[in-house]
Structure 1
Amino acid sequence: MADNETDNDDDFALFRQEVKDAQPLRQNRAQIETPQKTSVRLMRTASQTPRLEDPFSTLVEAELVGNEETLSYQGEGVQHRLFSKLRTGRIHLEAELDLHGLTLDAARMTLADFIQQCQLQQIRCVRLIHGKGWSSREHKPVLKSHLNQWLRQHPAILAFHSATIEDGGTGALYVLLRRKQDVS
């Protein structure tokens, strides 16, 4: 037993010798950095990109969703792990579009142009800001409801989910876009 105590004393002495020049940390909490979310400005002139046909159907009335309701869509073939990253905001956002205050027609055309430009620039993940509808005429989320329907129709949309609280919560969406060459 005496040999075991001597070994422990030698180990402690060796440890103390190795850390004698160490400086104490100023804090005891780890700093976890969230991924940087940057916005890329989409550039287009009328001569560069012809406008495509309106990809969104207006024949069917959009089903009204709640102001605080979480929207979620996972297209066929989207891996669960990738969707989980999208849902939790852990995919790098490359662009965003704020649709606040637009009429439905203006929002529909702006969204179609935005998606087209994102695909041309090989942008994969974007944030759409639609608001919660509290300032609409009847305090109903009209634009949010239509986005829920329109995005499900568009062939370039792989998945979408309501944003995290830091990025707008249920007033914004993370959207995962298909690569340009994959669009039918």
Structure 2
Amino acid sequence: MADDPADDDAELFRAAIGPVRRLPDTTPPPAAPMPRPRARMAERDEAQAREQFRHALDESLLDAGDALSYRRDEVSPRLLQKLKRGEISVQEELDLHGADTREAELLLRAFLHDARLHGVGCVRVVHGKGLHGAATIASSGMPVLKNLVDRMLRQRADVLAFHSAPPAQGGTGAVLILLAPRRLRSS
């Protein structure tokens, strides 16, 4: 088997590359790092808290005829009464009719940010009563946009107070919002 073509090829290869020297052994690459430990108990507690929060929200949902009302401690009850009666001039308005929840949330955030940026003190947001259309009524029969607006306004630091508008300005289908004055940054 001296005439084996594989032996000829190997001999030709060795002749073509010339003398070979062995490379020193290299150290193996480091092992992949251990995965970071997960805080499984914290994740479970957080999921449980979210679920409890969701149930609490379901219990506190507003109905179509319910009035929205909120004031921070630093706002006097008298000022809230003036807002409730519509005695504070509304400078800007946003109408959320026909918007889905995601769109309404984005519009409301942008509207409030823009209003505060321009020094607007009082705005009206028309959310509707949630009496028409499947998109405006939750499976529980509660108005979606009205409850979304209520939750969002309560969480914003720039909202001092809000109350459902008087009947002539939209009643329980609209809300008047008193915004905190814009603080100027000192240079």
TM-score normalised to structure 2 length: 0.63
Per-residue deviation, 1:81: 1.9
Aligned match of 2:178: 176
Q: 2:110 aligns with which of 88, 108, 113?
A: 113
Which residues of structure 2 form unaligned runs of 5+? 1-49
Aligned match of 2:147: 145
Q: 2:64 aligns with which of 61, 64, 67?
A: 67
Residue by residue, what CA displacement relative to the aligned partner does 1:103-136 show, whole Å, maximum 9, x if unpaired?
Answer: 1111111101001100111000010100000113
1:86 matched to 2:88? The reply is no
In 2, Cα distance between equivalents of 1:133 and 1:78:
29
In 2, Cα distance between equivalents of 1:88 and 1:100:
23
Instruction: Tell me the secondary structure at the aligned position of residue 173 of structure 1.
Output: strand
In 1, Cα distance between equivalents of 2:152 and 2:117:
20
Per-residue deviation, 1:152: 0.1
Aligned match of 1:99: 96
Runs of 4 or more above 6 Å deviation: none
1:122 matched to 2:119? The reply is yes
Which has the greater radius of gyration? 2
Percent identity at matched positions?
39
Per-residue deviation, 1:140: 2.8
Instruction: Tell me the secondary structure at the aligned position of residue 97 of structure 1.
Output: strand
Higher helix content, 1 or 2: 2
Aligned match of 1:38: none
Residue by residue, what CA displacement relative to the aligned partner does 1:124-155 show, whole Å, maximum 9, x if unpaired?
Answer: 00101000001132553111011111100011
Per-residue deviation, 1:98: 0.3
User: For residues 153-172 of structure 1, what are the structure 2 equivalents within 5 Å?
Assistant: 153-172=155-174
Which residues of structure 1 form unaligned runs of 5+? 1-58
Instruction: Output the amino acid matched with 1:136.
Output: G
TM-score normalised to structure 1 length: 0.64
Instruction: Tell me the secondary structure at the aligned position of residue 122 of structure 1.
Output: coil
Residue by residue, what CA displacement relative to the aligned partner does 1:153-173 show, whole Å, maximum 9, x if unpaired?
Answer: 011100000000000100000
RMSD: 1.8
